[in-house]
Structure 1
Amino acid sequence: MLERGNWLNEPAEWGFEADGLRVVTGRATDFWRETHYGFTRDSGHFLGIATEGDFTAEVQVRAGYQALYDQAGIMLRLDEGHWLKAGIEFSDGQAMLGSVLTVGRSDWATGPYAGDPGDVRLRLTVAEGVVRVQASADGRRWGLVRLAPFPKAASYLVGPMCCTPERAGLEVRFTDFRLGPPLGRDLHDLA
């Protein structure tokens, strides 16, 4: 399914493998708009797959985060001013689970991840103007990371995202990407 995607900021080094997608990040790549730092960056790597309305997407992300702001995960995007990225980001000396929601300006929510940050599964559901982000260490129990309003649209772009604002060379593997209708599960259903 990832073969259907189109790159925003195609990395110099990437390729499809038997089990998914391998990417090596470019130098000084990032997604951010204004808040706290005062700058706007839209240079991160994102392989966007078009949806037909509301959806659920899942992906497994494997990477060895080392430098400040190394990050990889999943992205939801309408345009440069309306997007969400979620996944693992290296901050304060450790790999943290986090998300950034941008509706004009970016916010940032982050916290420790109890599982192995080098191997995390992410799920993103958009339904009726709400985005729900979940994470899982085993693909069976999906804890809530974020619940937020997001603009309704007839189509969205969703897919793997990675960037390294402070360096180049983070190698990331994205596997088990799935895209389908919204799951419709109760908020506290962790399955």
Structure 2
Amino acid sequence: MSQSADPASTDEEVVLTWNWDASEHHRANSAIFKARRLGVRLRFPLIALAIGISLGLFEVYFRDRNLLVGVVAVLFIPTFAFAGGVIGSRIQGRVAARQFSKKNPPDRRSMKVTITPHRYLIDAPDGSVSLMWRAIERVVESQPFFLLFTSSSGGYYIPKRAMDDQSQVNVRRFLKDMVTDCHLL
């Protein structure tokens, strides 16, 4: 972990460095996934499948007059919708963490974030991302992370363990100034 200057001043930058941790990455991705409600994307195909199966079961119900088949047909749609949300929220973060750890051996898992008044820059072993502050729509602070959401369905995180208490206060103040929709602790 290392830090430089105070981001609250106008022309300074803050550089945060930390070693990437798969479980932390998974927790952050799960938090981003839940906050963005990305399970809705998985629910639609499952609901369409459930409707198709339910229509088939209703056909059997009307043909055979079997009450059990009718009840199963009615319960199929909400069950698939719920399963889509649960499966999606459980799998998404884990898959992203596995992909990252497969691409990057343990000695190349150092992450670096540079926060300036003009941009947010992430240097990761698999590439760099540079965002202007206007691309970040919302900031949510959770216990272990600052979650930064973009206009697309994605998001980024800064672990609080990469900062001491004073740096957290300064970064919190800086994020309030730079992003209009802030939900900070």
TM bracket, shorter-chain basis: under 0.3
- TM-score norm. by structure 2 comes to 0.26
Larger % of helix: which?
2
**Rg comparison, structure with higher value:** 2
- TM-score norm. by structure 1 comes to 0.25
Larger RCO (alpha carbons 8 Å, 6+ apart): 1
Larger % of strand: which?
1
